[in-house]
A and B are shown apart, each in its own frame.
Chain A
Amino acid sequence: MLRYILLRILQAVPVFFGTTFLIYFMVFAMPGDPILAMFGDKTPNPALLESLKAQYNLDKPFIVQYLLYIGDIFQGNFGISYSGREVSAILVKTFPVTLKLAVMAVVLELILSISIGLFSGIRKGKFFDNAMLILSLVLMSLPIFVIAFLAQFFVAIQWGWASPTVGGDTSWLNMLLPAIVLALSLYATSMRLMRGSTVETLGNDFVRTAYSKGLSRRRVIPVHVLRNSLIPVVTNSATNFGILIVGATVTEGIFNVPGVGNTLFQAIVRGERPTVVSFVTVLVIVYVLLNILVDLLYAVLDPRIRYV
């Protein structure tokens, strides 16, 4: 087991170099001069322009810029944003916010999709099941920004139940609305997965055996059905995390959450290489770690995987 974990972590090393290089290259390839853009419609003096470019290594060829950047990272220095702030400081400030939002969303989504999916699966074809399937179809077809704007308009502005934006107050309560929006955007797929796998599990021999042993529903459903139906949902929630980060860019913008999505968007607009690359790198690392975590969770859910 330990060897398995170590191997998985080692695999993250080439992923790290590959992604930073690719991202750096892509941001480098973005046309336009970011320093020039800092001056708006005004054209700066060439001398000032040159000297500012040199400060951010923008006057050097791509590969030199990249190596300087990587060299700095190994000294624990993520570089300086064009606003003169340390990128590491921005990372430390924004990541916890987005993680908190993502965790809230995933927890809400899992609670909703597992409980409703399980119940729907058990009552396949009944009214509740059909109602939930229609609801999930509606949710699936709505883009996230539509859900977000609707929630913001009705819940926050019309009914006054929550603050329309998060801003500086990143408490659990204040982030509940964007978290629900994110959760809803993921809910439909997970719920359908859960429902499907519940239906499948229910038809399995071991369930029939359990019942025929005289076990009650209260024992069979949680132990035999729920546990065995969870695997696809768990896999899905790891992929969901990636969707969450993408969705967060939209949701964080709409709800003004001072998190990764918002900051990353601004940095891309400004063509800030150090900020964009560092952010994406950390995102990749989080994603890789999460996948490892999911693989380990399989082992918990299904002993057969544990011994492979």
Chain B
Amino acid sequence: MRRLLTATAVASVAALALAGCSNGGGSEGGGSSDDAAIITTNGNEPQNPLIPTNTNEVGGGKILDSIFAGLIYYDADGKEHNEVAKSIESDDATVWDIQLNEGWKFTNGEEVTAKSFVDAWNYGALLSNEQLSSYFFEDIEGFSWDEDSELTGLKIIDDYHFTVTLKHPASDFGQRLGYSAFYPLPSVAFEDMKAFGENPIGNGVYKLAGEDAWEHDVKIDLVTNEDYKGDREAKNGGLTIKFYANQDAAYSDLLADQLDVLDQIPDSAFGSYESDLGDRAVNQPSALFQSFTIGNYIEHFDGEEGNLRRKALSMAINRDEITDVIFQGTRTPASDFTSPVIDGWSDDLEGADVLTYNEEKAKDLWAQADEISPWEGTFQIGYNADGGHQAWVDAVCNSISNVLGIKASGDAYPTFAELREKVTNRTITTATRSGWQADYPGLYNFLGPLYATGAGSNDGDYSSEKFDSLIQEGISATDPEVANQKFQEAQEVLLQDLPAIPLWYQNVVGGYSTLVDNVEFGWNSVPLYYQITKKA
């Protein structure tokens, strides 16, 4: 038994020694990355293999945008610039003529040609490939949701020239082409797409550091791609994207200078991040719009009565106070249905006063609606409890309840999946929280898919001939000015009808460590990694 005691003693000493050593451990970890000028940033384990047409979430999108270069790219303001494309032209918004720059290569040496794009798009669009972003090819001739069908609208003219024919005019088609679904793929990808997704070969600013660069659930290591030919030249040695299951952990790393750039401050730190980070804190609007939707099929919300009630509800919400108190200024009250970071955005649309707090008017409108059919029961907003929505839903309901003198409350669903199922099946009988994150910086993207009659994400079953025709005119116009004008007019229809009640634009709230400079966040809330420099 003496042996047992001795062993315990030895182990205790060893534990103490280990504890003592931890002094050195922490600082060593931070120092080693300095030499290579590798920038570290936060991310999430991608939900899917890294295939451009099968990635529709931020975690994977961030990586794809770093390792692929598309026909165009977007700058910090969301403005598009040609990248692999030499020119993208269309006279009628239906037939698009795309010329490529020569000399672009994938990191395996293969040249980027018209075929690299056409094959990748055909793969992404094919029904049986079950790609999550296949709807991006919906507008191209030949696309089908019923059977496997080739995109007959794609024609290769020569190695550096191809044309795209759409089913109907889409003036913002050129603007969409910077989205990851439209990236080119090297021919090796089609031999085994699954294996490719584990170890993608791109043509972008960065490339994977090696065979095992993607360490699942942990991180992905990217290094500069010397063969990259575009304007976004990397000012650093590479990028390590560390995966965090929870943002609080990432924030702790940022505070300890173990992480260089964080693009999402956790809600729990909203009260303190500005004092923690000083001028290294970032808070600016992004392309994320939040609202709640009241379906036409919900009792008391159809026709004239419904319209009056929607307006009354909207004017009963004190957006300024809620964004200030609940979100500590990390949301911007909405003045339309899109986002301020999108070209063509306007905050003085006709009828936008319906989005300002006005107790008198709200009461008055509600009373008018009651004359048509008296209100009874509780007004409820359905939300998913796993997404941090409770605080604002309660605040909005309080605001409504105080102004209109009716009962209002949140209706929590445990999971996002459950809420979405109810919404999609139209079995929901209350208003529901809704939101939209743009795929590309265009006004149409916030309007067409959500409010056009029969559109895929039109969860409230809204239908307006006037809106449909204005959207149609806008999307057919080849002059961007004219198009945006039409989209604004279409929004004025929405402000009349309020198929969804706009609440606020979500800001990108982030920060960076003391070790880096030149951090700028893009229109899509993702930092422009290539610009970031490491301090000497």
* Residue ranges of A at the interface with B (Cβ–Cβ < 8 Å): 30-34, 36-45, 47-48, 51-52, 55, 82-85, 89-90, 93-94, 107-108, 111, 114-115, 152-153, 156-157, 160-165, 167-169, 172-174, 176-177, 180, 222-223, 226-227, 252-256, 258, 262-263, 265-266, 269-271
Task: Using CB atoms, name the residue of chain B closest to A156.
Answer: B256
Q: Can you list, as one digit per residue, whether each of B1-38 has a CB less than 8 Å from chain A (1) or not (0)?
A: 11011001001100100110111011101100000000
State whether A254 touches B248 (Cβ < 8 A): yes
Question: A254 to chain B: which residues have CB within 8 Å?
Answer: 246, 248-249
Contact: B258 with A165, CB < 8 Å? yes
Select which of A48, A107, A156, A271 is within 8 A of B417 by beta carbon.
A271
Top 6 A-B residue pairs of the complex, sorted by shortest distance between their CB atoms: A32-B417, A32-B418, A37-B417, A164-B252, A256-B249, A168-B218
Assembled-state Cα–Cα distance A107/B434 (Å): 49
Does B410 count as interface, using CB distance less than 8 angstroms? no
A83 and B145 within 8 A (CB): no
Q: Which of B19, B25, B127, B245 touches A47 (beta carbons < 8 Å)?
A: B127
CB distance from B252 to the nearest CB of A (A): 4
A sample of 12 cross-chain residue pairs with beta-carbon separation below 8 angstroms, ordered by A number, consists of: A38-B56, A83-B47, A85-B216, A89-B216, A107-B15, A115-B12, A157-B256, A165-B253, A222-B5, A227-B1, A253-B245, A265-B245
B456: Cβ under 8 A from any A Cβ: yes
Task: Give a binary string over B206-244; 1 marks a CB under 8 Å from any A CB, 0 the rest.
Answer: 000000000111110000000000000000000000111
Q: How far is the CB of A118 from chain B (nearest CB, A)?
A: 10
Is the pair A161, B22 in contact by a Cβ cutoff of 8 Å?
Answer: yes
Q: Which of A89, A114, A162, A227 contacts B26 (CB 8 A)?
A: A162
Which of B18, B25, B134 meets A163, CB within 8 Å? B25
Among B130, B215, B243, B256, chain A packs the most CB atoms within 10 A around the CB of: B256
Contacts of A94 on B, CB cut-off 8 Å?
217
Q: Mark B45-57, 1 if CB is under 8 A from A, else 0.
A: 1111100000011
Chain A hits for B2, CB < 8 A? 222
Q: A48-B145, A82-B47, A222-B4 are in contact. Are A33 and B417 (CB under 8 A)?
A: yes
Q: Which of B412-434 contact A (CB under 8 A)?
A: 413-421, 423-424, 434
**Are B456 and A168 touching (Cβ within 8 A)?**
no
Return chain A residues, CB-CB under 8 Å to B19: 176, 180
Chain A residues with Cβ below 8 Å from B435 are 41
* Extra 19 A-B pairs, beta carbons < 8 Å, given A89-B216, A165-B244, A176-B18: A30-B417, A32-B419, A45-B135, A47-B146, A52-B130, A93-B216, A107-B11, A107-B15, A111-B8, A111-B12, A157-B256, A162-B26, A164-B253, A167-B218, A172-B18, A254-B248, A256-B249, A262-B217, A270-B417
Q: Which residue of B lies closest to A42 (CB)?
A: B457
Contact at A168–B437, with CB atoms within 8 Å?
Answer: no
Measured between beta carbons, the chain B residues less than 8 angstroms from A167 are: 218-219, 242, 253
- A90 & B216 in contact (Cβ 8 Å cutoff): yes
- Asked, given contacts A41-B435, A90-B216, whether A51 binds B245 with beta carbons under 8 Å apart, the answer is no
Which of chain B's residues has its CB closest to A223's CB? B1
Please determine whether B256 and A160 come into contact, CB atoms closer than 8 angstroms: yes
A41 contacts which of B246, B415, B437 (Cβ < 8 Å)?
B437
Alpha-carbon gap, A22 to B426, bound state (A): 31
- Check B217 against A160 for contact (C-beta < 8 Å): no
CB of B1 within 8 A of CB of A84, answer no
Q: How distant is the Cα of A148 from the Cα of B423 in the complex, in angstroms? A: 38
Bound-complex Cα distance A114 to B56 (A): 52
Tell me the B residues contacting A by CB distance below 8 Å.
1-2, 4-5, 8, 11-12, 15, 18-19, 21-23, 25-27, 29-30, 45-49, 56-57, 127-128, 130, 132, 134-135, 145-146, 194, 197, 215-219, 242-246, 248-250, 252-253, 255-256, 258, 386, 413-421, 423-424, 434-437, 449, 456-457, 459
Shortest Cβ distance from B433 into A: residue: A41
> Chain A residues near B252 (CB, 8 Å)?
152-153, 156-157, 164-165
Contacts of B424 in A (CB 8 A): 33, 36, 43
Q: Tell me the bound Cα distance from A168 to B218 in angstroms.
A: 5
Q: Closest B-chain residue to A107, C-beta based?
A: B11
Q: Which chain B residues lie closer than 8 Å to A93 at the CB level?
A: 216-217
Residue of B15, B30, B255 touching A111 (CB-CB under 8 A): B15
Q: Given known contacts A31-B415, A32-B417, A222-B4, is B249 in contact with A164 (CB within 8 Å)?
A: yes
Q: Which residue of A lies closest to B23 (CB)?
A: A161
Q: Are A164 and B256 in contact (CB under 8 A)?
A: yes
**Residue on A nearest B417 in the bound complex, by CB:** A32
Cα of A227 to Cα of B5 in the assembled complex, Å: 10
CB distance from B399 to the nearest CB of A (A): 23
Q: Quick check: B420 and A37 within 8 Å, CB to CB?
A: yes
Nearest CB of A to B39, in Å: 15
Q: How far is the CB of B54 from chain A (nearest CB, A)?
A: 9
Measured in the bound complex, the distance between the Cα atoms of B132 and A262 in whole Å is 25
Q: Is the CB of A168 within 8 A of B242?
A: yes
Q: Give the Cβ gap from A105 to chain B, nearest Cβ, in Å.
A: 12
Is B456 a contact of A42 with CB atoms below 8 Å? Answer: yes
Nearest chain A residue, comparing its CB with the CB of B5: A222
Q: Smallest CB-CB separation from B7: which chain A residue?
A: A111
Contact B130–A51 (Cβ < 8 Å): yes
Query: Which chain B residues lie closer than 8 Å to A174 at the CB level?
Result: 25, 29
B217:A258 contact, CB within 8 angstroms: yes
Pair B22/A162 contact, Cβ less than 8 Å: yes
Q: Which residues of B contact A271 (CB under 8 A)?
A: 415, 417
**A83 pairs with B48, CB closer than 8 A:** yes
Across-interface contacts of A160 in B (CB, < 8 A): 26-27, 256
| Interchain CB contact under 8 A, B249 and A269 | no
Give the distance to chain A from B22, nearest Cβ to Cβ, in Å.
5
Q: A161 to B21: give the CA distance in the assembly, Å.
A: 9
A255 engages B242 (CB within 8 Å): no
Chain B residue with minimal CB distance to A43?
Answer: B457
B421 close to A31 (CB less than 8 A): yes
Pairwise interchain contact A164-B134, C-beta atoms closer than 8 A: no
The CA of A177 and the CA of B256, in the complex, are separated in Å by 15
Residues of A near B248 (CB, < 8 A) are 253-254
Complex-state Cα separation, A258 to B197, whole angstroms:
21
Known contacts A32-B417, A40-B437, A161-B22; is-contact A269 B127 (Cβ 8 Å): no
- Taken together as a complex, chains A and B put the C-alpha atoms of A158 and B405 apart, in Å, by 49
**When the two chains form their complex, are residues A168 and B22 in contact, meaning their CB atoms are under 8 A apart?**
no
Output the least CB separation between A175 and chain B (Å): 10
Kindly provide the distance from the CB of A306 to the nearest chain B CB, expressed in whole angstroms: 17
- Does A84 lie within 8 Å of B194, measured CB to CB? yes
The smallest beta-carbon distance between B240 and chain A, in angstroms, is 9
Give the residues in chain A near B57, CB-CB below 8 Å.
38, 40
Of the residues B29, B56, B197, B216, contact of A39 by C-beta under 8 Å: B56
